[in-house]
Amino acid sequence: MKPFTGNFTQQEALDDTVIAAATEILRSGRLHRYNSGPGELSKASELEQAYAAYQGARFCLACASGGYAMAIALRAAGLSQGEPVLTNGFTLAPVPGAVAAAGGKPVLVEITDNLVIDLDDLERKAKTSGARFLLLSNMRGHLADMESLVDIVRHHNLILIEDCAHTMGAAWNGVKSGNFGLAGCFSTQTYKHLNSGEGGLLTSNDPEFMARAIILSGSYMLYERHGAAPSADVFERIRLETPNMSGRMDNLRASILLPQLARLEDSIERWNERYRAVEEALGGVVGVVLPQRPDEERYVGSSIQFRLPGISPEKAEAFVAANKAMGVELKWFGAADPVAFTSNHHSWHYVDPQPLVETDSILSGLFDMRLPLTFSVEDCRHIGLIIAHCAADLAADARGEA
């Protein structure tokens, strides 16, 4: 089979509208979000208005990163030092990192073989952990049964904050990811759905929460210059009792995000075409298990995951190497040591060790792959056939036929 020659870390070039927007800001010299004239709305404030409208939320705050958005969301929601925070056992390091940054202690919840939080384990740990918070990671773009999850949240009086780094534009039964609890946290890091290198967005419908988040982000007393903020009277007490923990987004990043946001729905369609091409190539391949995508879920297929249940560590490493030799870059979540952005809970030594038998079993055979929009649909079919070929070789070797 012909090897694939594409680059898995090459994002789409930013087009002329984005470049023009950035150039305008650079020529003005007004990169700081509060460097605006009387009655003028800065680009950061414009982005907050535009994203709040897209999300269907009352308020939005543009931040330095998605991880920062999560950390100040927990602080703004009232997390105390040393307090437990429920979160998925399967996520990326910025999620438990945000809990640690806010002073909390992660309590890890098992996942299901569809890569979403296990609602039965969530129910158990909501009863026994004493946690008031659930930082839900919609990891790799997979949504749990959100109506059932919200029932658990309400029953146990949990404060739900959603990590939507991989679910910007996704929805469950027509409700956008990020709108199920107190707040939604989004990332605009290069490999997410909008690209500003680094950046984040925080949304909510709660005025006091958002006022605290805005002050935490480093607004000083310039909160009235925000584009999607509560009214000034909400800040009257909060502005004096909330610390400044600077993590603002600048106008340059906001300016390059606005044109991308206008095309986000088109990008989602393109990602999903590529996802379906790989999914079709892997469907029915012996030993390969794809997560089920429920009818209620509107997903964004910017990456794809599959499992090879029962694979040994040695075979998993050989499988990754065989794909790499054919030009396909897979990440394996069962590796003992973290590799680049990929890690599992065993390498988060700042988190108390916790037994996660089901999660560990799932991660031991879990493989992950980005689907950049620089790939064509035909590229993705080719990639899927390579993975299927390597999986067939693996199965043949297991039968002693290689």
Q: With beta carbons less than 8 A apart as the criterion, state whether 218 and 212 touch.
A: no
Does some domain include residue 368? yes
Q: State the residue for tokens 């004096």.
A: 240
**331: CATH:** 3.90.1150.10
Q: State the residue for tokens 């658990």.
A: 152
Same domain for 292 and 342? yes
Residue at a domain's end among 262, 296, 318: 262
Same domain for 228 and 92? yes
Same domain for 222 and 302? no
Same domain for 145 and 176? yes
Neighbours of 20 (CB within 10 A): 11
pTM exceeding 0.95: yes
Residue at a domain's end among 206, 237, 262: 262
Same domain for 215 and 234? yes
User: Cα angle vertex 184, ends 56, 200, to 5°?
Assistant: 100
Same domain for 31 and 103? yes
Domain count, the chain: 2
Domain residues for the domain of 155 are 16-262
41: exposed, middle or buried (Cβ count in 10 Å: 0-12, 13-18, 19+): middle
Q: What is the pLDDT along the chain (402 residues), one digit of tens a residue?
A: 899 999 999 999 999 999 999 999 999 999 999 998 888 899 999 999 999 999 999 999 999 999 999 999 999 999 999 999 999 999 999 999 999 999 999 999 999 999 999 999 999 999 999 999 999 999 999 999 999 999 999 999 999 999 999 999 999 999 999 999 999 999 999 999 999 999 999 999 999 999 999 999 999 999 999 999 999 999 999 999 999 999 999 999 999 999 999 999 999 999 999 999 999 999 989 999 999 999 999 999 999 999 999 999 999 999 999 999 999 999 999 998 888 888 999 999 999 999 999 999 999 999 999 999 999 999 999 999 999 999 998 887 776 654
Q: With beta carbons less than 8 A apart as the criterion, state whether 41 and 55 touch.
A: no
Which among 246, 213, 201, 272 has a CA at the least distance from the CA of 45? 201
Residue at a domain's end among 225, 242, 262: 262
Same domain for 256 and 280? no
Does some domain include residue 7? no
Q: Give counts: helices (H), strands (E), the chain.
A: 13, 13
Same domain for 42 and 188? yes
**169: CATH:** 3.40.640.10
Does some domain include residue 81? yes
Does some domain include residue 281? yes
